[in-house]
Structure 1
Amino acid sequence: MIEIKNIEKTFGDRHVLAGISGSFEPGKTTLVIGTSGTGKSVLLKCMIGLVKPDKGEVLYDGRNFLTGDLEDQKAIRREMGVLFQGSALFDSKTVLQNVRFPLDMLTDLSEKEKVDRSQECLQRVGLGDAGDRMPSEISGGMKKRVGIARAIVLNPKYLFCDEPNSGLDPLTSIKIDQLISEITEEYQITTVVITHDMNSMMEIGEKIMFLHKGKKVWEGNSNSLIHSDVKELNEFINANKLIREMEK
């Protein structure tokens, strides 16, 4: 369980997050949606420690990530997996080396244990035979799957995905959504996905938070999404539908 309480963040005179609160449950995928510049990615960065909020609390199973000492923060970070928007793979490392990188940095496992665990994760995302390939030799969708394999290699309790479908075609996007959802349920991970993808909202939106101008103005699930009476949310949904139609 992750809880955020009254998160606020300003950059200069710009109030990016204005008192955001919410909870994220194990075994469920929670989507944080909203237009560009509404604070989604800043919220994620506050939750994983890349940005320090001005006010508020971030609790991981009751542990305050913001006020804990360095060792407590390190312990929580070891329980996180992060899939970055651009996959963030190392071009000079093979696919297998990319996946095992967190094991090299954060564990004392033997060489065999690292290889076996990395290969196991690649197998889980359907890339068991791609370990020797370089990132330049694989497609964008495969890079996302490598990023997911790396994100779960440490058996995380918490998984964060920043725009996992960015730059992907609709069919590949669906496959990535399904993979994230399956892994979340299979390993009972607490998963937070930052997205503006309409398909993701309808397919894996077990819980959805809609941000507008730095505030949480709606919360629900995919079933209640299209029945919202929130003007800003309806405009966001309609704009997404229009973009989808133009892409066909």
Structure 2
Amino acid sequence: MIEINNISKSFNGKEVLKGITSTFKKGETNLIIGGSGTGKSVLLKCMIGLVKPDKGNVLYNGRDFYNSDKEVQQSIRREMGVLFQGGALFDSKTVEENVRFPLDMLTDQSVQEKQDRVAFCLQRVGLEAAAKRMPSEISGGMKKRVGIARAIVMNPMYLFCDEPNSGLDPLTSVKIDELIAEITEEYQITTIIITHDMNSVMEIGQNIMFLYQGDKLWEGISSDIIKTDVPELKEFLFSNKLLREMER
């Protein structure tokens, strides 16, 4: 479980996050939605330690990330898996080398242990046949699956996904959503997804937070979201074709 309490952040005098508070449960897909520039990515960066909030704290199973010593912070970081928006694969490394990278950097496992873990993760995302390929030799959807394999190779307790469907066709996006949801439930991970994709919201959103100009204006489940009376959320939702059709 992850708890964020009164997270606030400003840049150059502009308040980007305005006291955001929420709880994200393990085994659930927690989605953070909103338009561009609403603070979604900044909130994620505050949660994983890339940006320090001006106020507030982030608790991982009760451990206060920003008010702990370096040893505790490093322990929490090792429990995180991150799927970056662009995949962030190393072009000079093969698929299996990309997946193995966190193990090489953060563990003292034997070569065989690393090979076994990488093989398992690639098999889990359906890419065992692509292990020796280079990133330039695989599709965008396959790159996202490599990113997922790398994100789970350390057997994380917490998984963060930044726009996992960015740049993908609708069918591939559905497959990526299904894979993330399956992994979340199977391994009881606390998963947080930053997304603009309303298909993701309706299909896998178990807990959804809507940000608008740095404020949390709504939080709930997908079955309730289309009933909202929050004007800003209604505008965001019904600008999407899928939601317009559902409203009819």
Which TM-score applies when normalising by structure 2? 0.97
Q: Percent identity?
A: 73
Aligned to 1:208: 208
Aligned to 2:34: 34
Unaligned runs of 5+ in 2: none
Aligned to 1:176: 176
Secondary structure at the residue paired with 1:216?
A: strand
What is the CA–CA distance in structure 2 between the aligned matches of 1:131 and 1:239, rounded to whole Å?
40
Q: Residues 198 and 241 of structure 1 are in contact (CA less than 8 Å); yes or no, is this contact kept in structure 2?
A: no
AA in 2 matched with 1:107: T
What is the CA–CA distance in structure 2 between the aligned matches of 1:160 and 1:53, rounded to whole Å?
18
Q: CA deviation at 1:122?
A: 0.3
1:31-76 CA-partner distances (Å, limit 9, x unpaired): 0000000000000000000000000010000000011111110000
Cα gap change, 1:184 to 1:242, in 2 (>3 Å)? closer
1:198-229 CA-partner distances (Å, limit 9, x unpaired): 10000001000000000100001110011100
Secondary structure at the residue paired with 1:126?
A: coil
Aligned to 2:67: 67
What is the CA–CA distance in structure 2 between the aligned matches of 1:202 and 1:139, rounded to whole Å?
26
Secondary structure at the residue paired with 1:68?
A: coil
Cα gap change, 1:185 to 1:94, in 2 (>3 Å)? same
Aligned to 1:147: 147
What is the CA–CA distance in structure 2 between the aligned matches of 1:10 and 1:239, rounded to whole Å?
29
What is the CA–CA distance in structure 2 between the aligned matches of 1:80 and 1:62, rounded to whole Å?
15
Which TM-score applies when normalising by structure 1? 0.97
Aligned to 1:53: 53
How many pairs align?
A: 245
AA in 2 matched with 1:104: D
Q: Is the counterpart of residue 76 in structure 1 residue 76 in structure 2?
A: yes
Q: CA deviation at 1:244?
A: 9.7
Q: Residues 237 and 243 of structure 2 are in contact (CA less than 8 Å); yes or no, is this contact kept in structure 1?
A: no
What is the CA–CA distance in structure 1 between the aligned matches of 2:243 and 2:139, rounded to whole Å?
24
- Greater Cα offset, 232-241 or 121-130: 232-241
Secondary structure at the residue paired with 1:129?
A: helix
Q: Is the counterpart of residue 102 in structure 1 residue 90 in structure 2?
A: no
What is the CA–CA distance in structure 1 between the aligned matches of 2:31 and 2:199, rounded to whole Å?
12
What is the CA–CA distance in structure 2 between the aligned matches of 1:154 and 1:4, rounded to whole Å?
23
Unaligned runs of 5+ in 1: none
What is the CA–CA distance in structure 1 between the aligned matches of 2:169 and 2:213, rounded to whole Å?
28
**RMSD of aligned C-alpha atoms?**
1.2
Cα gap change, 1:108 to 1:43, in 2 (>3 Å)? same
Aligned to 1:120: 120
What is the CA–CA distance in structure 2 between the aligned matches of 1:233 and 1:215, rounded to whole Å?
12
What is the CA–CA distance in structure 1 between the aligned matches of 2:147 and 2:12, rounded to whole Å?
33
